[in-house]
Amino acid sequence: MNTIYSLKAVLSELLFDLFGVDDIAIDLQETKKEFNGDITLVVFPILKRSRLSPEATAELIGIRLLEKTNIIDTYSVVHGFLNLTYSRGIVIKTFDTIKATPGFGIRKVDKSLPSSMIEYSSPNTNKPLHLGHIRNILLGMSISKILQASGMNTIQVQIINDRGVQICKSMWAWSQFSNGETPESSGMKGDHLVGKYYVLFDKEYKKQVSQSISSGVSEEEAKKSVKCIVQVQEMLLQWESGDSEIVKLWSKMNNWVYSGFDKTYKRLGTDFDKNYYESDTYLLGKIDIEEGIKNNVFFRKKDNSVWIDLSSDGLDEKLVLRKDGSSVYMTQDIGTAIQRFKDFEINSLTYVVGNEQDYHFKVLFLILEKLGYKWANKLRNLSYGMVDLPTGKMKSREGNVVDADDLMDQMELAAMKLSNELGKASFYDEIEHKELNISLGHGALKYFILKVDPKKRMVFNPDESIDFNGNTGPFLQYTHARISSLIRKGRGEQSKWSWDDFSLTEKERDLILFLSKFPEIIDSAALNLNPSIVASYLYDLAKIFNSFYQQHSVLNAETAQIVAFRVDLCKQIVSVMKTGLGLLGINAPDRM
């Protein structure tokens, strides 16, 4: 049961009876803390139809609500606002509904309906995953879980960028400097090993450019003509022509990287329903572009390159095929989007990408619309801000990044140190303690990333994320464990209770009504593609519980019936917290 939806239904009927209003959105807001009430009706939109003052309109609605329904217990009027307090009966009915609903907040998925596809991660195979990828992965993973919880089928995909000049740079450096080094011989994860040679290429490239400039060549010419970059470009042409040795090297090094990626994904708790590879998809889109030329969607310039003119849409001209007929990223993305709607029965496709690609996706969606694909208006771009370090921006080719695996190691060690200092795991054996440290470390990382609105640029500070106090993952995990402990201790004293045995305290009312918001929180997070809505709700729920617990004992309450009720209340709080943390990809320990 959702008390707000029930109240909206009653108000809709009441306003029609009073004023003939049936076309005005009912604006209900949470009552401000300085006023009495649970929910506030904004009456200003109704004044044109009521033809009364704001105060008189609010007063009339309040009186009629008390006369006609049992939802409201009291009301007060403050200017153009009607503050309403839910009746005890509604609060009781709300808790009974929550208690009787397994997996409260989670909607059942209708498997017969089309799915929502989410593309995220989509790394390059020239380097390991880093902190920037982590924000992308955590957003994509969490949004997929939230959409699923809101009742949608979801399909998770990625496109792995496994071809191009950047990949050939790692290949060239390995050929020159490796002496046959492999992940097995070096003891390094495959993606780390390949990333090492990507960094080595950049160092060698800068060295050769510097030497060329010293010999009298201009900087612009040196960057284009030094030996290593020329050989890399030749290597790319050889790959595209199917040279067996180059393709063999490319396949070997990419497989090292795929294996490394899979291990990192497993640690983060994510996987994909399908992987797309740029080496398979980079030619997709050419046929559609040729068809678009016939229909005057695209045009060919004198040098044989193909473009689209979007100036009438407030944009500019965009290249879709080079003069030699080769694809650009836009060509590939056009074809891949079309292919996905062929591969799966989907009703939407969401790209999780950094906001520096906003223009690219705006153009992509517009092109697909002009090509006549009706599903083009179902394409969405979850644009997120970059992640910086306290020391500044990361640079992959210089090796100045926070590696994803190293970061997770660091978070686990920090969790172990803190839990040891605070004695949070004294009753765990060695294996359980290690699992707890993983849960706390990863929970700190995931929550710190996901509590921030995706649109905002953020600075990740590991030291701030690991804390059992404040707005952190470990604080929520500890709160969950603390409440779980109360439930375990209260089982032996459990007895039957009924609503006639006691009166609800204000703090208990607050908890019940706040729990009832969980379904709409999930829906809001799904609609806005924003996990921070769930994170904020969980933090507020933990604070409301702690406020209740400071004033009211659970296990030493006045009567056995109150103890039993409060244990049941704790069970619902734990259930919602565990579900909510799960939507963020965070484990909820029962003991700590």
Q: What is the pLDDT of residues 167-217, one digit of tens each?
A: 999 999 999 999 999 999 999 999 999 999 999 999 999 999 999 999 999
Residues 415 and 519 occupy one common structural domain: yes
- Average pLDDT on 558-581 reads 96
Q: Is residue 377 part of a domain?
A: no
Q: Is the confidence at residue 5, as pLDDT, over 80?
A: no
Read off φ and ψ for residue 40, nearest 5 degrees: -125, 130
3-state secondary structure of 590: coil
Summarize pLDDT for 380-428 with one digit per residue, the tens: 999 999 888 776 554 444 445 688 999 999 999 988 888 887 776 667 7
- Give yes or no for a contact between 450 and 584, defined as CB atoms under 8 angstroms apart: yes
Question: Do 512 and 578 meet the contact criterion of CB atoms below 8 Å apart?
Answer: no
563 and 459, same structural domain? yes
Q: Give yes or no for residue 22 having a pLDDT over 90.
A: no
The residue out of 228, 244, 269 marking a domain boundary is 269
Amino acid at site 265? Y
State how far the alpha carbon of 182 is from the alpha carbons of 171, 193, 199, 259, 339, in Å. Answer: 13, 8, 16, 13, 35
The answer to whether residue 321 sits within a structural domain is: no
b/e code 513-529 from CB counts within 10 Å (16+ = b): bbbbbbbebbbbbbeeb
Instruction: Identify the DSSP state of 392.
Output: B
Q: Single out the residue in 86, 114, 131 at which a domain terminates.
A: 86
Q: Is 352 contained in some domain?
A: no
Would you say residue 30 lies in a domain?
yes
The stretch 41-64 carries a mean pLDDT of: 93
Q: Which residues, 6 or more positions from 94, have their beta carbon under 8 angstroms from its beta carbon? A: 1, 3, 86, 512, 513, 516
User: pLDDT value at position 399?
Assistant: 47
Among 144, 115, 118, 129, residue whose Cα is nearest residue 381:
118
Amino acid (one-letter) located at 258? Y
Q: Which residues of 278-291 are buried (b: 16+ CB within 10 A; e: fewer)?
A: bbbbbebbbebbee
Q: What local confidence, expressed as pLDDT, does residue 397 receive?
A: 42
Residue 336 lies in a domain: no
440 plus 546 within the same structural domain: yes
Residues 170 and 60 in one domain: no
Per DSSP, 456 falls in state S
Residue 300 in domain: no
Q: Is residue 359 part of a domain?
A: no
| pLDDT value of position 391 | 66
Q: What is the mean pLDDT of residues 531-550?
A: 97
Is a pLDDT exceeding 70 seen at residue 560?
A: yes
Range of the domain at 419: 404-583
The pair phi, psi for residue 461, each rounded to 5°, is: -120, 105
Average pLDDT over residues 31-43: 92
> CA–CA separation, 504 vs 562, rounded Å?
10
**β-sheet bridge partners, residue 122:** none
SS3 474: helix
Higher-confidence residue of 453 and 327: namely 453
Confidence check: pLDDT of 145 > 50: yes
Q: Would residue 390 count as lying in a domain?
A: no
Task: Tell me: do 431 and 523 sit in the same domain.
Answer: yes
Q: Is the confidence at residue 296, as pLDDT, over 70?
A: yes
Which secondary structure element, helix H or strand E, spans residue 184, and what is its range? Answer: helix 183-186
Average pLDDT in the 248-266 region?
Answer: 97
Both tokens of 34, joined, read 């300085």
Rounded to whole angstroms, the Cα distance separating 173 from 523 reads 49
| Radius of gyration (C-alpha) of the chain in whole angstroms | 29
- 59 and 205 in a single domain? The answer is no
> Over the stretch 362-378, which tens digit does the pLDDT of each residue have?
999 999 999 999 999 99
Q: Is 229 in contact with 223 (CB distance < 8 Å)?
A: yes
Q: What pLDDT shows up at residue 325?
A: 85
Query: Which amino acid is it at 10?
Result: V
Are residues 419 and 542 both part of a single domain?
Answer: yes
Tell me the DSSP string of 126-183: TS--BHHHHHHHHHHHHHHHHHHHTT-EEEEEEEEB--SHHHHHHHHHHHHH-TT--H
CATH number at residue 413: 1.10.730.10
**Predicted confidence (pLDDT) per residue in 491-519, tens digit:** 765 678 999 999 999 999 999 999 999 99
Domain CATH for 45: 3.30.1360.70
| Domain count of the fold of the chain | 3
SS3 assignment for 315-379: CCEEEEECCCCCECHHHHHHHHHHHHHHHCCEEEEEEEEEHHHHHHHHHHHHHHHHCCCHHHHHE
Verify that 415 and 506 share a domain, yes or no: yes
Rounded to an integer, the average pLDDT of 62-83 is: 92
- Examine the domain organization and report whether 71 and 186 are in the same domain: no
Task: Yes or no: say if 108 and 153 are a contact pair by the CB < 8 Å rule.
Answer: no
| Same-domain status, 435 and 570 | yes
Taking 70 as the threshold, does the pLDDT of residue 16 lie above it?
yes
The verdict on 170 and 79 lying in the same domain is no
| DSSP class per residue in 493-525 | G-----GGG----HHHHHHHHHHTTHHHHHHHH
* H or E segment and range at residue 85: strand 81-86
End-to-end CA distance of the chain: 33
Question: Which of 41, 58, 86 corresponds to the end of one domain?
Answer: 86
CA distance 432 to 424: 12
